A and B are shown apart, each in its own frame.
Chain A
Amino acid sequence: MKLKATLENYIFVLPATIIFAVFYIIPFISVFQLSFFDWDGILPTKIFVGLNNFKEVITDKVWWQAVWQSGYITLIALTFQNAIAFLLAWACDREIRMKNFYRLIFFIPPVLSEVVVGLVWQWILNGNYGILNYWLAQFGMANLAHNWLSDPNTALTTVAIVHCWKGFGWGFLLFLAGLQTIPRELYEAARVDGANAWNSFKNVTIPLMMPVVVLVAILTILGTMQVFVLIYTMTGGGPGYHTEVPVLRILASMRGSSRFGYACAQGITFGVILCMISFVQYMVNRKSRA
């Protein structure tokens, strides 16, 4: 009877296990295996190169520049994007008019296609006929008009800001959900104890929102480090290598150079970097809770 029950359990789990194995585990093993080979994606034969692909990734300056640049975008997203998301969520959590309308508006950018967003912003920021430069000129700031995406000094930051615009809605939604779980009685009790708005925010809102803040931070880091579509449509990684990010480099190795083995090695290296970041974040979070 016990054996039957155990078998039944396994049978129920089997479909999910098969799907997981076929679509996650087998591809992952294939990627890992391919990273030790030189392969152009066409020939049936692959040349074993050992750890050479990994050695090349480690010494590839452009790759590390791309990692650093995605780190820079992540930093902006962590601070600027999440600060805006938090402030807007906080504002929408209060009793203001049309708060449902604002909730809807703030969540529109994340549901838009990244390609569409990239192309629209490329048009807005275009140095020749972009609407941003036009409005700058209209408001007497023509000296600020700029080729935002083609200047190496502004390209990366511009792309990062567009990424923040596209992504702040997710943070907004999570923060809002978190804020709504805080019991109103706590604020009332704080007010009775003489706390002003700032004190309530500092001593009630912030501590109770910490788990949500950590969650949003983890999602922001993992999501932004893998940013790609927006940059691909806005700058293609240029000018030069100034807006290259790791996923773009992986794509270039695969599609541009037909170096599938090297691309897999880049993918695994990047995966390891993301795991390390997540681990550090987990440790910091655990320590702060303790």
Chain B
Amino acid sequence: MRSFGFRILAIIFCGFCIVGCAPAEKNKAATTLTVWHWMTDRGPAFNELAKKYEAKTGIKVNFELYAPSDAYSQKVRAAAQGANLPDIFGILGEKRDFASFIKANYVLELTPYMLEDKAKWKNSFFAKALAVNEFNEGNSYGIKPGIYGAPIDIMTIQMVYNKSLFKQLGLNSNQPPQTFQDFLDIGKKIKAANMQGLVSGWGEIWMIDCLANNYAFNIMGKDKVIATIKGQVPYTDPDWVRVLSLFKEMQDSGLLASGIVTMVNKTAEQLFANEKAVFAFNGSWCVNVYKGMNPNLEYGAFLPPRASNKYPMAIWGGAGSSFMVNCRSKNKEEAVKFLRWLTEAPQQVYLAEATNNLPANKESSNLVPDVTASFAKAMDNATHPNVWGVSEFSPVIEAFDKGIQSIIIGEKTPEQVAQEVQKVKEREMAKKRV
């Protein structure tokens, strides 16, 4: 009996082995493209577009959402190590990370596709949106010049103000501050009225970096900023000290909301949407966020008030999110075709309407609502570290941004922070030379 049972088990085992080892049934269904993304707000719209694409071409597209963005970023890196990247994916991080993905042969160069048909695809984008995915001749990363990603939407980061609170302060609700002095004067009124001024996610330090860079461009111009990154101008330069001093002046005038140094952007968005703060420094994605939190919010967008007339004010902007094609994917040609379709005007308009993000396709940009349009207009002033061709060392960025936090809490002076940042810079430069 025991032997009979054993035989039965052995037969079942062999059966499973044979079935398991059999070649997989040939996939008669059409190609399936897999896209990884982190954009929770765009998930339903992407799925809708995937259905449309399948109906049109028979190719199934699976949008797989991995959020939050930090987790997504780690997943992409881990997948790259295991050579498990999907057909299409986005890269979050600095330009040097993007360059590493290209060097490791994970990203397909899109230049030949972009230039097909008299560069029709390339010309459909805002040049500044495409620039984020471009590597120019002589770039410091050693990447072959070309385009390596397709922007899905664009973004700009600037100031927004609450029109109702402006009226309460006795200010013209259609006239946001133009100069830094105007800004500080409003700060004094905010303090006197016991209101909260500027809110922003300065606990997540990159947003401090963003505003500081805006003012660096305004005070010393792009060339000097780039020269600083290259190590030719020290951070102790008076212009950099002036940039750092602006944060002290903002704090002293009462312009900054209390607790801003540990505030995450989600909290800042809640405060502004609930009319608890007069100003916010936020990206164009906020239009969708504020609409969801308070549809009746009356607000306007404006460039950060200029601190100098010497150079134009620059803001961070460009491609909000981009998709890259996996160079090792067997479906890469299909993936490129899908990206081309996704960035055509009808799909871009649909995405803009469904998610309130600014379309990367310039042909569809005139179809967006007012506030969103004011963010789009600011593209003229947009710049981004990813288009500068050089990247600052991460420890320097951290020292700079944490230093600004220290200035705001009154722990250090702008001069002290400038010296500390320069020390970190020199240390990193020395390491590079070694």
Contact = CB atoms under 8 A, between A and B. Distances in A.
B409 interface: yes
Interface string A25-63: 000000000000000111110000000100000000000
Contact of B261 (A52, A150, A255): A150
A128 B258 CA distance: 7
B203 A42 contact: no
A280 interface: no
A126 interface: yes
B398 A43 contact: no
A65 to B, nearest CB: 11
Contact of B409 (A41, A240, A257): A240
A239 B409 contact: yes
A240 B405 contact: yes
Contacts of B311: none
A40 B100 contact: yes
B262 A236 contact: yes
Contacts of B406: 239-240
Given A40-B97, A238-B405, A128 B104 contact: no
A150 B260 contact: yes
A239 B261 contact: yes
A77 B34 CA distance: 48
Given A258-B93, A258-B97, A239 B262 contact: yes
A256 interface: yes
B73 interface: yes
B203 A238 contact: yes
A203 B411 CA distance: 50
A278 interface: no
B262 A238 contact: yes
A236 B204 contact: yes
Contacts of B145: none
Given A236-B204, A239-B405, A255-B73, A128 B96 contact: no
B168 interface: no
A235 B264 CA distance: 9
B96 A258 contact: yes
Contacts of A129: 276
A43 B97 CA distance: 9
Interface string B385-398: 00000000011001
B257 interface: yes
Contacts of A234: 262
A275 interface: no
Contacts of A43: 100, 103-104
A176 B202 CA distance: 44
A42 B398 contact: no
B208 to A, nearest CB: 10
A151 interface: yes
Interface of A is mostly: loop
B274 to A, nearest CB: 9
Interface residues of A, number: 29
A252 B263 CA distance: 18
A235 B262 contact: yes
Interface residues of B, number: 41
Nearest to B74: A255
A241 B276 CA distance: 28
Contacts of A52: 431
B162 interface: no
Contacts of B54: none
A269 interface: no
**Residue of B80, B257, B402 most packed against chain A (CB within 10 A):** B402
B2 to A, nearest CB: 20
Contacts of A155: 262
A158 to B, nearest CB: 11
A109 interface: no
B97 to A, nearest CB: 6
A73 interface: no
A126 B398 contact: no
Given A40-B100, A236-B203, A240-B411, A126 B259 contact: yes
B394 A128 contact: no
A166 interface: no
A235 B203 CA distance: 7
B259 A150 contact: yes
A140 to B, nearest CB: 19
Interface in A160-181: none
Contacts of B262: 149-150, 155, 234-236, 238-239
Nearest to A40: B100
A166 to B, nearest CB: 19
Interface string B189-230: 000000010000001110000000000000000000000000
A110 interface: no
A43 B105 CA distance: 9
A239 B203 CA distance: 8
B100 A42 contact: yes
B77 interface: yes
A147 B263 CA distance: 11
Contact of A147 (B73, B259, B398, B403): B259
Interface string A243-256: 00000000010011
A190 to B, nearest CB: 52
B70 interface: yes
A129 B411 CA distance: 25
Contacts of A258: 93-94, 96-97, 100, 394
B77 A41 contact: yes
B271 interface: yes
21 contacts: A40-B96, A40-B100, A42-B77, A42-B80, A43-B100, A43-B104, A126-B259, A149-B259, A150-B260, A150-B262, A150-B263, A150-B409, A151-B409, A155-B262, A236-B262, A238-B205, A239-B409, A240-B405, A240-B409, A252-B398, A258-B96
The 6 residue pairs across chains A and B that have the minimum distance between CB atoms: A257-B394, A42-B100, A239-B261, A150-B259, A240-B406, A127-B259
